[in-house]
Amino acid sequence: MMRFMLCHGDTTEVGGRELLQQWQDKADSWIWLDLYDEPADAEAVFLGEQFALDPGVISEAQRSRHPPSFEVFKDYIYLLLKPLDAGSDSLDFNTLQLAMFASDRFLVTRRSKESPYLGKLWHSLVQDGCGGESPLSLVAAMSRRVAQRYGKVLLDLEQRLDVIEDELFDSPTDTLMKELVGYNTGLRKMHRILAYYVNVFGALRQQMHKTGNNKHDEYDDIYALIERFSSLSAVYQSVITDLIEAYISLNGHRLNQIMKVLTIVTVIFVPLSLLVGIYGMNFVNMPELKSSHGYYILLGVMLAIASVLLYIFRRMRWL
- Residue ranges of domains in the chain: 2-249, 257-315
pLDDT reported for residue 192: 93
Listed in sequence order, the residues at least 6 apart from 114 whose beta carbon sits closer than 8 Å to its beta carbon are 36, 86
CA angle 199, 223, 112 (to 5 degrees): 70
Instruction: Give pLDDT, residue 246.
Output: 80
Please state, in angstroms and rounded to a whole number, the distance separating the CA atoms of residues 311 and 305. Answer: 10
How much is the pTM? 0.78
* pLDDT over 90 at 299, yes or no: no
Report the first-to-last Cα separation within the chain, whole angstroms: 75
Beta-bridged to residue 70, according to DSSP, are: 79
Distance CA(157)–CA(258), nearest Å, equals: 34
Q: What is the DSSP letter of 63?
A: S
Cα-based torsion angle of the residue sequence 289, 295, 301, 305 in order, rounded to the nearest 10 degrees: 110
User: Per residue in 214-261, pLDDT tens?
Assistant: 778 889 999 999 999 999 999 998 888 888 888 888 777 788 778 888
Cα dihedral sign, 285-289-290-294? positive
Query: Over the stretch 256-283, which tens digit does the pLDDT of each residue have?
Result: 778 888 888 888 888 888 888 887 887 7
Alpha-carbon distance of 88 to 278, in angstroms, equals: 71
pLDDT score of 79: 95
Class (C level, CATH) for 2-249: alpha beta
233 CA to centre of own chain: 8
CB 211 within 8 A of CB 117: no
The CATH number of the structural domain formed by 257-315 is 1.20.58.340
d(CA 305, CA 56): 85
For the chain, percent of residues with pLDDT exceeding 70: 100
Distance CA 104, CA 214 (A): 12
Provide the angle, in degrees to the nearest 10, between the axes of the packed helices 55-62 and 40-51.
140
Split at pLDDT 50, 70, 90, the class of 200 is very high
Q: What is the pLDDT of residues 15-64, one digit of tens each?
A: 888 899 989 888 888 999 999 888 889 999 999 999 999 999 999 999 88
Contact 153, 90 (CB under 8 A): yes
CA distance 206 to 124: 29
More confident residue, 183 or 254: 183
Q: Which of 13, 237, 247, 217 is nearest to 125 (CA)?
A: 13
Element (H, E) at 78: strand 77-81
Asked if 2-249 and 257-315 have one fold, the answer is no
Q: What is the pLDDT of residue 225?
A: 93
Residue 172 has pLDDT above 80, yes or no: no
User: Which of the listed ranges 126-130, 167-171, 212-216 does the model predict with the highest average pLDDT?
Assistant: 126-130
Largest Cα separation within the chain, whole Å, is: 125
